[in-house]
Structure 1
Amino acid sequence: MTSTFTNPPGPAPSAGTAPPAALATEVTKVYGSGDAAVHALRGVTVGFARGAFTAIMGPSGSGKSTLMHCLAGLDTVGGGRIMLGDAEITGMNDRQLTLLRRERIGFVFQAFNLLPTLTAEQNILLPSQLAGRKPDRAWFDQVIDVVGLRDRLDHRPNELSGGQQQRVACARALVSRPEVIFADEPTGNLDSSSSAEVLGFLRTSVREMGQTIVMVTHDPVAASYADRVVFLRDGAIVTELHGPTPDTVLDRLKSLGG
């Protein structure tokens, strides 16, 4: 089965239109072999427009995290192609993928992945330092104030709550202004107020700064901050939703058995 969805409808692209920020074409992924084989992705084709906020949803085991990991170069594909802008990442070696992820991609995962010996500020600025980029201090200050970390910058991860550690991870992804931010349950460990603040800033970064965000989530409220929601079931994209609300997302999930 092949599933094909592209970008939201709009004006016909001109000859000079930039390619999608990320694009999967006929992507397959199988774990295991023989009777134990699990077909995580089944010929998925989907594009993610630049300057847009897309959520990926589906029932447990639908392939949503696998798709994001393949798009981000964190996992290999069994077949098909993955493009990040004009770069085909499915043909890259480990060193090339490492540089790509460091210089062009931002990540936020439910596991915070913070270095325990570094302060919050040092963790946030680490990707920029590794890429040899000088941070934009005005943007850094804006990120810090929105996610509420001003009085925690000199604290190490073990001195922060789980929610505060996730805010550090969000700020780390945003501060370098990557081409794409891949977020896996980015507010999963935050209370409702902090979640709304972080999601609101992600939304603002898309609308005002042109950031591109691809987010896996199970939360209809979080998905409602996106421009578009793509739904997977059994390794294939089965539908999508534009201009989502919590209620329309929940209704669509219920129809999928999620």
Structure 2
Amino acid sequence: MTSTFTGPPGEAPSAGAAPAAVSAIDVAKVYGTGDAAVHALRGVTVGFAGGAFTAIMGPSGSGKSTLMHCLAGLDTVSGGRVLLGDADLTRLGDRRLTLLRRERVGFVFQAFNLLPTLTAEENILLPLRMAGRKPERAWFDQVVDVVGLRDRLHHRPSELSGGQQQRVACARALVSRPDVIFADEPTGNLDSSSGAEVLGFLRTSVREMGQTIVMVTHDPVAASYADRVVFLRDGLVVGELTEPTAATVLDRLKHLGG
């Protein structure tokens, strides 16, 4: 299994540990001011190794979605730093941050966010075309075969099941070869069978294609597909599990109150 560095700022990874693809260093996030201030993150330091599948979990209000949004450059931090490889997101202006997200980050959300008038293939290739980039055909073919969409490429979203639509969204995130894919409750709108299909693909993309995935989920079964689970409570990292099972994740959540 891929090892993961989560040590304090400035500390070198131990021998054999994979370098962090994305990391938070003493990250704080405050919404509002004065008595109305909400401290969503309270000095979070955590790294996510390249080529690994990590789930972020915690009770409602623990800060898990806020952390993901800060790591992905979708939200600004109130303090600390976010590093995507060697790029410090906290020092980038809006334009450079937009370009970095387009070129180095992929997203999969609970809502499939497919354009209904486009075919599956056109939806997959849309981000590349918006960026003025030509697809690498061999890579596109590999992604399509891994997600099992070869016979659905010319179908529109209305002609696809929920699981197939989410697999299109996963392929769209993967086709640009991003440094990291962030998945926010990717199985939240799916039944258990379709959810298992999508999670199986995400795990395969890590193990066979070297992808890095950071997923927010509330579901212990979904988290059991990951290599590692990071737990938050009250805006702080309070623990982690490696080689998780649904049972061990559920037991940890019970102790966290979520």
Counterpart Cα distance in 2 of 1:147 and 1:52: 18
Contact 1:170 1:186 in 2 (8 A): no
Aligned to 2:175: 175
Secondary structure in 1 aligned to 2:182?
strand
Contact 2:163 2:198 in 1 (8 A): no
**Residue 19 of structure 1 contacts residue 86 of structure 1 at CA under 8 Å; is this kept in 2?**
no
Specify every segment of 5 or more residues in structure 1 that has no aligned partner in the other structure, as ranges.
none
Tell me the CA shift for residue 110 of structure 1.
0.7
Counterpart residue identity of residue 205, structure 2: S
1:32-71, Cα deviation, whole Å (9 max, x unpaired): 1222211100000001111111100001111000000000
Q: Percent identity?
A: 84
Partner amino acid, structure 1, of 2:165:
Q
Q: Which amino acid aligns with 2:65?
A: S
**Structure-1 separation of matches of 2:106 and 2:76:** 18
After TM superposition, list the pairs within 5 Å mapping 1:35-74 onto structure 2.
35-74=35-74
Cross-structure match for 1:103? 103
Distance 1:162 1:35 in 2: 43
C-alpha separation in 2, matches of 1:118 and 1:230: 37
Hey, what does 1:157 align to over in structure 2?
Answer: 157
Equivalent residue number for residue 139 of structure 1: 139
2:34 equivalent in structure 1 = 34
1:18 offset after TM fit, Å?
Answer: 7.4
How many angstroms does 1:161 deviate by? 4.2
- Which secondary structure does the structure 2 equivalent of 1:118 belong to? coil
CA contact (8 A) 1:228 1:241 kept: yes
Do the aligned partners of residues 253 and 37 (structure 1) sit closer, same or farther apart at CA in structure 2, a change above 3 Å counting?
same
Letter in 1 for 2:183: A
Cα offset, 1:126, TM superposition: 1.3
Aligned position for 1:12: 14
Whether the aligned pair in 2 keeps the contact of 1:230 and 1:241 (CA below 8 Å) is yes
Q: Which residue pairs with 2:10 in the alignment?
A: none
| 8 Å Cα contact 2:180-2:213 kept in structure 1 | yes
Report the TM-score, using the length of structure 1 for normalisation: 0.89
Report deviation, 1:85. 0.1
Compute the displacement of 1:154 (Å): 2.6
- TM-score of the superposed pair, with normalisation by structure 2: 0.89
- Per mean C-alpha deviation after superposition, the further-off stretch among 152-161 and 125-134 is 152-161
Structure 1 vs Structure 2 CA RMSD = 2.1
Measured after TM superposition, the shift of residue 12 of structure 1 is: 2.7
Query: 1:19 Cα deviation (Å)?
Result: 4.2
**Match of 2:189, SS?**
coil
Check whether the contact 1:146–1:197 (CA below 8 A) recurs between aligned residues: no
CA distance in 2, matches of 1:179, 1:71: 12
Question: How far did 1:184 drift?
Answer: 0.4
1:239 matched to 2:239? The reply is yes
**What whole-Å deviation, never above 9, does each CA across 1:7-32 have from its counterpart, x for those lacking one?**
7xxx8348xx8741001011000111
What do residues 186-219 of structure 1 show as CA deviations (whole Å, max 9, x unaligned)?
A: 1222222222222122112212221111000111
SS at match of 2:100: helix
AA aligned opposite 2:59 = P
Structure 2 residue runs of 5 or longer lacking an equivalent are 8-12
Does 2:124 align with 1:124? yes
Alpha-carbon distance change, 93 to 180 in structure 1, aligned in 2, over 3 angstroms: same
Once the two structures are superposed, the pairs formed by residues 157-236 of structure 1 within 5 Å of their partners are 157-236=157-236
The CA distance in 1 between the partners of 2:36 and 2:157, in whole Å, is 40
Q: Is the 8 A contact 1:29 1:40 kept in 2?
A: yes
Q: Contact 2:30/2:37 (CA < 8 Å) preserved in 1?
A: yes
Q: In 1, Cα distance between the equivalents of 2:163 and 2:38?
A: 34
Q: Give the deviation of 1:159 after TM superposition.
A: 4.3
* Between 171-180 and 230-239, the greater mean CA deviation after superposition: 171-180
User: Match for 1:23: what amino acid?
Assistant: S
Tell me the CA shift for residue 221 of structure 1.
1.0
